[in-house]
Amino acid sequence: MEPIKKLFQAKVFYEYGKKKSELDILQNEFLSNISDKIRPYAKVKDRVGDILVIEVTNNTVGHKIKIVSSSILKTLSSSSSLKLKKIKIKIAVQNPTAKRKINKTSISTINQMKNLSNEISDSPLKTYLKKIFQNK
């Protein structure tokens, strides 16, 4: 157990922990400066230099944040030692689960196609339709 603790206290993990705590503080300050309605849909993703990267769930939330970005930047810069100049919005693409595609043909359509195959004269379409209905 001790070697694992030493590993997590190493310089690399220390930098990750430091970055995570900095982003958590920025997240809390950012959430306190935006509307209650859009809080669940926005998250501080990263800080690159003087640019704050925000991840949002849709374009509407991103637009609302961009509108009030100047006031957010002023309050964030005044409350922390970081001097942020710009907010960059990233839209998180949500991949919905694919619905099962039901590939059914109605009985009335099948009956109409059978009638059509009986009524038309000899042609490639008629032979094709006859083959389809013989297999089913």
Number of structural domains found in the chain = 2
Domain end, chosen from 57, 72, 91, is at 91
Q: Which of these three, 71, 91, 111, is where a domain ends?
A: 91
Contact by Cβ (8 Å): 20, 8: no
> Quick one: 45 and 112 in the same domain?
no
Q: Give the structural domain span for 126.
A: 98-136
Segment 48-98, tens digit of pLDDT: 888 999 999 989 999 999 999 899 888 888 877 778 889 999 998 877 777
The CATH number given to whatever domain includes residue 74 is 3.30.300.180
Residue appearing with tokens 């970005």: 69
The DSSP secondary structure of 82-108, one letter per residue, reads ----EEEEEEPPP-PPPPPPP----HH
> Based on the domain organization, do 105 and 130 belong to the same domain?
yes
- pTM value is 0.59
| Cβ contact 42:34 at 8 Å | yes
**Pair (74, 107) in one structural domain:** no
Query: What span, in angstroms and rounded, lies between the C-alpha atoms of 110 and 32?
Result: 62
From edge to edge, which strands make up the β-sheet containing 51-56?
42-48, 51-56, 86-91
**pLDDT given for residue 22 in this prediction:** 87
26 vs 7, which has greater pLDDT?
26
Task: For residues 95 and 118, give the distance between their C-alpha atoms in angstroms, rounded to a whole number.
Answer: 47
